[in-house]
Amino acid sequence: MLLLRQLLHLARVQLTLWRRRPIEAGICLGLSVVFLVVANQVYTIWLGPHVRIGLMVEREALQTTMTIELEALGVSVEPYASSMQGREAMQRGDIVCLVAVEEGTPTRLSLYLAGRNLILDQELSSRLLQAIARAVEAESPSLRLEVYPPSRTPEAITTFMTASLLSFLILTLAHTNSGSFWVRDWEQMHLNSFLMTPAHRLALVVGRISAGMVLTAGLVGMAIAICRWFVFWSLPDQWLPWVGVMTLQIFMANSFFFAIASACRRYRFYVNVSSFLVIVLMFVSGSVTPVEVMAPWERTLALFTPTFYAVRSMRAVMLGLEPVRFVDMIAMVGWGIACCAIGYHQLGRGLWPATRSAAKERTTS
Amino acid sequence: MNTAAPSSAPAIELRDVSRIYGSHPAISEVSLSMEEARITGLLGPNGAGKTTLLRMIAGLIDPSSGTVLIHGRRQSILNRALRHEVGLVSLDCPFYDELTVREVLTLQAILMGLPADVRVARLADAGGNEAIAGMLDRRMDELSTGMTQRVRIARAMLHQPRVLLLDEPTSGLDPEVRRSIWQDLRALAKRGVCILMTTHNLQEAADLCTTIHVLHRGRLVRSHEPNSEGMSTAQLESTYFSIVEPA
């Protein structure tokens, strides 16, 4: 009972401290919204009228069909009399790619990509394949070209992107709000005031991680609500699993940075380590490069990172294309508990920022 | 005062205590004991090991060798039970500036495990101290250095420990506040509290302390009882400088 009272009070104090820094709180919320909105726009390749695609089709009827199909993607279509002209225009940067259908035996359908930006080329080839397939199908009823899934709506793409962005927003908020509180308390020796009391360390760890979770959840919730005024993405049909996955991620992220802060104990050291870790975790989580196309050693590395499970479960629950895997939930809980245990152990290592020699000396004595 | 049964053991006892940082001995084989209801001063130049000694007695760090006993029980980082016996006033135990005095004291009371009714009574008692009464709802970052120091002492005494450790309690304070803190410390000693304080102020040590220990380069080099020896501040000064600045 005493332990519960202590941990609840510690959580309350933590939230009070945060509430009394309204400027920091406002900046944190503002940046979270900006992150979700801007990253969503920049992260996704939007094919709009500003994207010009060259089209060279000798047969008039096919040209009309293909123009309709390509414009349905939202892009502008620029007709060219010959593929040579189109390729020159592409080299000049007037168009991003060229679709050419040259009559002959056999009739050749070519897709010329500029090759300047590989990500753009990949996206264009994937999107144009569907448009071309529909046009060819309309032209030759005996031919059927199908690509699955048949189409991706802009909402689906945004939802897919948001799933990874939310995971990283949670990670970043836990880094700045929870981890930095811990490391400040180590560096400024606030923890000494706690450790001079007979209160159990468990109250400190559970109380403050709970406060960090409430804080992170509140910020993420507010950021999502505000972000949806600017960017539309579908909310999951099933709220409960979504909230469950987010809660596990928030717990895991807060514990993760608690462990890092307690191991570093110095603000500069913590910032160096944690900032770098966030970047690495982002790249190996599968949110930038799909895990399916990673090299075997990268895939193995991804399996040992917490964000891999976070991104995968968030995508599953938000897109609804596959069920949330039980192993992802277990992995997130496992990471959270392991990190809490590391941080808890650090609290017992002594109160003053211990030098390596002091720690060694303690061990030998 | 703490309700633990009084024991015949000294309030604080150090037996051959050493503390080494890397290859640097901060404290070397210090042995001494302190009784209840006395104010003991710890003198020494910067780096002599005063704060390290205080931290070991508080249980914030463990000695590399030797034993620290509080009322006959061994002190260590992990001995949470002994936290009830000791109060520490030190810059090493800072406050959150964003909290009010009331919140600081409430947090301390809850962490010390005081029951709700006792907590309310102790807070009212802390408020009974005129200096603190008027500032219970003020934030810590709005307080002067003197006021902050009073809150530190109030926080350390909230659970009514039998041993109070103070690390340079009057450093940077004006004479009026300093005198008032001396009065508070004398009153606490009269109530049976064993007080151990570090100081650089020789006059303070001579006027306030019943016993003075001089530390130099981690070793206990001299002990005095200024009142019983009839030692003036000038004599103490002369003795002190003969130790720390040998000819």
pTM, 2 dp: 0.79
Please give the pLDDT value at position A156: 76
* B23 within a domain of the structure (yes/no): yes
* B30 within a domain of the structure (yes/no): yes
Partner residue facing B113 (CB), from A2, A357, A365: A2
Contact A208, A10 (CB under 8 A): yes
Residue B126 has pLDDT above 80, yes or no: no
Contact A202, A5 (CB under 8 A): no
Q: Can you tell me the mean pLDDT for A92-103?
A: 87
Confidence bin at A320 (pLDDT 50/70/90): confident
- B81 with A5: Cβ contact below 8 A: no
Radius of gyration of chain A (CA): 27
Place of tokens 């016993």: B211
Partner residue facing A198 (CB), from B21, B23, B80: B80
Cβ neighbours of residue A191 under 8 Å, at least 6 residues apart?
A185, A204, A347, A351
B170: domain CATH number is 3.40.50.300
- A355 with B21: Cβ contact below 8 A: yes
Q: Using omega within 30 degrees of 0 as the cis cutoff, is the peptide bond preceding A149 cis?
A: yes
Q: Can you tell me the mean pLDDT for B157-162?
A: 88
Alpha helices of A107-238 — where are they, by DSSP H? 118-139, 154-173, 180-187, 190-195, 201-230
Contact B81, B189 (CB under 8 A): no
Q: Which ipTM did the prediction report?
A: 0.80
Between residues 99 and 118 of chain B, which touch chain A (CB distance below 8 Å)? 99, 103, 106-108, 110-113
Residue A259 has pLDDT above 80, yes or no: yes
Count of domains in chain B?
1
Confidence bin at A353 (pLDDT 50/70/90): very low
* B3 within a domain of the structure (yes/no): no
- Write the pLDDT tens digit of every residue in A143-191: 666 666 555 666 777 788 888 889 999 999 999 888 888 888 888 888 8
Residue A136 has pLDDT above 70, yes or no: yes
Find the Cα–Cα–Cα–Cα dihedral B98, B103, B109, B110, rounded to 10°: -90
Q: Give me the residue spans of the domains in chain A.
A: 52-148, 154-364
Domain that holds residue B54: 12-244
Partner residue facing A198 (CB), from B77, B98, B113: B113
- A350 with B77: Cβ contact below 8 A: yes
Tell me the C-alpha distance between A129 and A152, whole Å: 13
Instruction: Name the architecture of domain A52-148.
Output: 3-Layer(aba) Sandwich (3.40)
Residue A360 has pLDDT above 70, yes or no: no
Partner residue facing B98 (CB), from A5, A21, A192: A21
What token pair was written down for A251? 């717990």
* DSSP tally for chain A: helices H, then strands E: 15, 4
Query: Could you tell me where the beta strands, DSSP code E, fall in chain B?
Result: 12-21, 24-34, 39-43, 65-70, 73-74, 86-89, 163-167, 194-198, 211-216, 219-224
Between residues 332 and 351 of chain A, which touch chain B (CB distance below 8 Å)? 348, 350-351
Q: Can you tell me the mean pLDDT for A7-29?
A: 89
- A350 with B61: Cβ contact below 8 A: yes
Tell me the C-alpha distance between B112 and B104, whole Å: 12
Q: Find residue A335's DSSP bridge partners.
A: none
Phi, psi of A346 (to 5 degrees): -60, -35
Please give the pLDDT value at position B173: 82
Tell me how far the alpha carbon of residue A211 is from its chain's centroid.
24
What token pair was written down for A326? 């039980």
H/E stretch holding A12 reads helix A2-19
Q: Find residue A111's DSSP bridge partners.
A: A99
Phi, psi of B211 (to 5 degrees): -135, 145
Radius of gyration of chain B (CA): 18
What token pair was written down for B123? 């807070």
- Output A313-316 pairs: Cβ under 8 A, ≥24 positions apart: A313/A245, A313/A248, A313/A249, A314/A163, A314/A164, A314/A166, A314/A167, A314/A245, A314/A246, A314/A249, A315/A160, A315/A163, A315/A164
Phi, psi of B67 (to 5 degrees): -135, 140
Q: Which residue of B has its CA nearest to A12?
A: B107
